Amino acid sequence: MATKYILAGTSQHKIWKYGTWGLFILLVILVAFAYVDTGFIEIGGNKYNISMIRLSKAVAFAVAILGLQCVVGFTGQVALGQSFFVGSGAYLTAWLVADHQWPYLLTLVVVIPACFLIGMILGLPALRIKGLYLALVTLGMAAVFPSIVKLDSLSDKTGGSGGKSTAESKLEAPDWAASIFDGIAGALQQIPFFGQYFGEGDLSSREADRMWKFLIFSIVAAICFWLVNNLVKSRPGRAMRAIRDNETGAAVSGVDLAMTKTLAFGVSSALGGVAGTLYVMEVGIASPDDFTQLLAINLIVGLVVGGVGTLSGAVVGGLVVVLIPDWAASTESAAFVPQRWLQGPTGGFLLGLMLIILTFVLPGGIVAGFRKLRARFVQVVPRPPDGSVPAAFAAATAGATTAGEAMLSSESDDELVHSGPSDGGSTDE
Amino acid sequence: MDLFLQRLFDGLANGSAYALIAVALVLIFKATTLINFAQGELAMLGAFISLQLWYWGVPMWGAVVLAMLITAVLAAGVERTLIRPFDPKDHLPLVIITLGLFLLINALAGIIWRFDPRQYPELFPSGNALNIGSRGLSWYAVFTIGLTVLVIFLLTVLLNKSKVGLAFRSVSSNLESSELVGIKVGSTLQFGWALAAAVGTLGACVYVSNPLLSLEPSVMLRVLIFASSAAALGGLDSIWGALVGGLAIGFVQSLLVQYLDFIPTEMSLAAAVVVLLIILLFKPAGLFGTASVERV
């Protein structure tokens, strides 16, 4: 199939951009309604449960990984301690909800500024400590978090080693939302042939609650992604990327290193805090063993596997980090693998393996692979500043069909679109 | 006073076990300016291998030496296949690879040996070498320190007197120049990784042979933080510094945390991280390390 070229800024480009987004949202809605009643799929004799709970968790982790993108992906600081901030957000939420009867979403008003501040303060050492040393210190911080919340002096607020439960205040779908959900479910059930996959009749109240939670999560996450997208394209965002690409060069060009770095750390940990809030909303408890060094490393896995320095990579990363361990845990029999092996921490094994293999094969993560694949079919050609039509685009659309010319033009397009291996243009999705 | 002595002795024993792991970190850092986040897990794997060999009937010390050899070969293989393809100056991919190894080895040990703690046989005679009042200095502490000093002494001799050691020092001081004068940089670094893995395994075996501890896949998570603080305190490129740093961290853990009332007992790990942070902020080269000069 011949590559299709789209000129940036044209209505065709808009249709393409919003069309792909629309398709994505449609897909999410379909998956949500198809699996809201914890539907099972069966592969090779194993039952897999793609429940909403997992999808909601994946959304929470995606926001945490989005925070990592700001610091590691865009600013290039090797900070590994994201679990610290996710934990802080989770505990703040749990404390406010359980002890002060705040509604869940209102806690964000406290969580975001608090985590932003903690992140800025803990990011201060990063002005002096660089590279591997920073990795070491932040990993140490992540390791310390569980022992901080287990402290005796804090245990009346954090619940000690048992964790802080918020199960008493449930998040229930309001009636109007439930009836909308029922309406959508009913409509989906009317589709010929496929209707059977969307259950029967109205949603039960538990299903409506799950759907409601997932909806809230998605909206919060979408706002986070939208804000970060704007940040990255703005002046501070460009400063962040300049620091990543060449710190000295950025400083010489007038980037305020201290300001930009602490800002990046603050934003990153604020997002970590939001992720923590979402996490507590889903699981109903903040417990110290959920926010260990292993979570910090898992979030890094999500970052790298999804794609460092891309926003869509955070979504992919969240899904990978949540679904792969669950998938491994619910696989009970597989060909050529002794059963004993499947009962252990196979998920961690797979994540580690993925991390290493992807670093070799696809350093840009899954998103880069997907983009490479997409570029074979559709390429967006940026319009030069003077408004003329680029030569390559003209040649391609005029039907330059000889093999040599087609190759030439597609190569020059590549250069136009991907101005570097990890360019900021990657955020335009 | 009694309690003070006991804590001093405990600090000594733990500290020298940390020092052994810290030496392993230092060896790799010296050669490659890389901190191997998987070092603790590799050492844990070595300890499990030695235990497995012991189950199969190999005498305990023989099992430890065999496990050291096995992990050395493993680490050499890891260096060759996973580390060498990457540019040593670009940190992110290398951090990611070692973190991947961390997850991989941790999960592998959990899959093979499960998560229940196992009693590790004592490597040293039990009982006390010295009794003062009701408190005593255990043979474990005495032998651990003796062994640590011996290992560090042997490493110093190896690095300073042998041809391999000369190559190793040359590579660690200037990689490009060593390559130009005909040193095989790759195999020298491989040697560094193997040596570090062997020392790390010894450290882990000694650490878990403490009668108070047992072996489980997560035993090294904390130790890695202690050991890296120790290595940073001593100066990341100084082997003797690792010993001093290890002992200092051991004492911080057992004395400072016990006696300063405002630091709760569970915070020994946090204390180590704070020490690490302070050192990196104010004396990045550590106590005995050489300060690096950046040139444009």
Q: List, for residues A391-410, the tens digit of each pLDDT value.
A: 666 666 655 444 444 444 44
pLDDT in tens, A284-306: 888 888 898 889 999 999 999 99
What residues in B contact A293, CB-CB < 8 Å? 221
Task: Please provide residue B130's backbone torsions phi and psi, each rounded to the nearest 5 degrees.
Answer: -145, 130
In this prediction, residues A78-95 reach a mean pLDDT of: 92
Question: Per-residue confidence at A424, pLDDT binned at 50, 70, 90?
Answer: very low
Question: Per-residue confidence at A38, pLDDT binned at 50, 70, 90?
Answer: low
B22 inside 8 A of chain A by CB: no
**Angle between helix A205-233 and helix A11-35 axes, rounded to 10 deg:** 150
Q: Which helix (H) or strand (E) holds B20?
A: helix B2-32
**SS3 call for A167:** coil
Q: Please determine, for residue A350, whether its predicted confidence score (pLDDT) is greater than 60.
A: yes
pTM of the model: 0.85
Question: Per-residue confidence at A411, pLDDT binned at 50, 70, 90?
Answer: very low
pLDDT at A410: 43
pLDDT at A45: 65
B285 inside 8 A of chain A by CB: no
Residue of B nearest to A364 (CA): B93
The verdict on a CB contact (< 8 Å) between B34 and A151 is no
Q: Please determine, for residue A422, whether its predicted confidence score (pLDDT) is greater than 60.
A: no
Q: Which two tokens stand for residue B282?
A: 């104010």
Mutate to test the interface with A, among B111, B219, B224, B278 (most CBs of A within 10 A): B111
**What is the overall mean pLDDT for chain A?**
81
Question: Per-residue confidence at A201, pLDDT binned at 50, 70, 90?
Answer: low
Determine the Cα–Cα distance for residues B103 and B91; give it in Å rounded to an integer.
18
Assess contact for B192 and B33: CB atoms under 8 A: no
| Residue pointed to by tokens 């044209």 | A10
| Residue pointed to by tokens 């970190």 | B25
Residue type, B294: E
pLDDT at A415: 37
Give the closest-approach CA distance of A294 to chain B in angstroms.
8
Q: Which two tokens stand for residue A162?
A: 């048992």
DSSP state of A154: G
Determine the Cα–Cα distance for residues B159 and B164; give it in Å rounded to an integer.
7
| Residue pointed to by tokens 């590799």 | B42
pLDDT in tens, A133-187: 888 889 889 988 988 888 877 777 887 778 888 877 777 777 787 888 887 877 7
Mutate to test the interface with B, among A84, A130, A133 (most CBs of B within 10 A): A133
In this prediction, residues A245-257 reach a mean pLDDT of: 89
pLDDT at A427: 41
pLDDT at A149: 86
C-alpha dihedral over B253, B259, B264, B268, to 10 degrees? -10
Determine the Cα–Cα distance for residues A73 and A69; give it in Å rounded to an integer.
4
Q: Which two tokens stand for residue A138?
A: 């932040």
Closest CB to B96: pick one of A141, A304, A341. Answer: A304
CB proximity list for B225: less than 8 A, separation 6 or greater = A139, A140, A143, B269, B272, B273, B276
B263 inside 8 A of chain A by CB: no
Determine the Cα–Cα distance for residues B149 and B239; give it in Å rounded to an integer.
10
pLDDT in tens, A366-389: 888 888 888 888 877 777 666 666
Q: Please determine, for residue A316, whether its predicted confidence score (pLDDT) is greater than 50.
A: yes
Category of A284 on φ-ψ map: left (φ > 0), alpha (ψ -120 to 50) or beta: left
Length of chain B: 296
Q: Which helix (H) or strand (E) holds A378?
A: strand A378-381
Q: Specify which residues B128 forms β-bridges with.
A: B138
Give the closest-approach CA distance of B236 to chain A in angstroms.
10
The verdict on a CB contact (< 8 Å) between B267 and A147 is yes
Q: Please determine, for residue A419, whether its predicted confidence score (pLDDT) is greater than 60.
A: no
Q: Please determine, for residue A418, whether its predicted confidence score (pLDDT) is greater than 80.
A: no
Residue of A nearest to B35 (CA): A132
Determine the Cα–Cα distance for residues A296 and A290; give it in Å rounded to an integer.
10
Q: Nearest CA to A203 among A186, A182, A189, A176?
A: A182
Determine the Cα–Cα distance for residues B8 and A255; give it in Å rounded to an integer.
50
pLDDT at A49: 67
Question: Per-residue confidence at A390, pLDDT binned at 50, 70, 90?
Answer: low
CA A382 to chain centre: 27
In this prediction, residues A330-355 reach a mean pLDDT of: 78
Mutate to test the interface with A, among B82, B87, B99 (most CBs of A within 10 A): B99
Assess contact for A179 and A188: CB atoms under 8 A: no
In this prediction, residues A275-288 reach a mean pLDDT of: 90
The verdict on a CB contact (< 8 Å) between A348 and B110 is yes
Q: Which two tokens stand for residue A413?
A: 């397009």
What is the set of domains in chain B, with CATH numbers? Answer: 1-114+133-282 (1.10.3470)
B9 inside 8 A of chain A by CB: no
Residue type, B85: P
Give chain B's residues under pLDDT 50. Answer: none
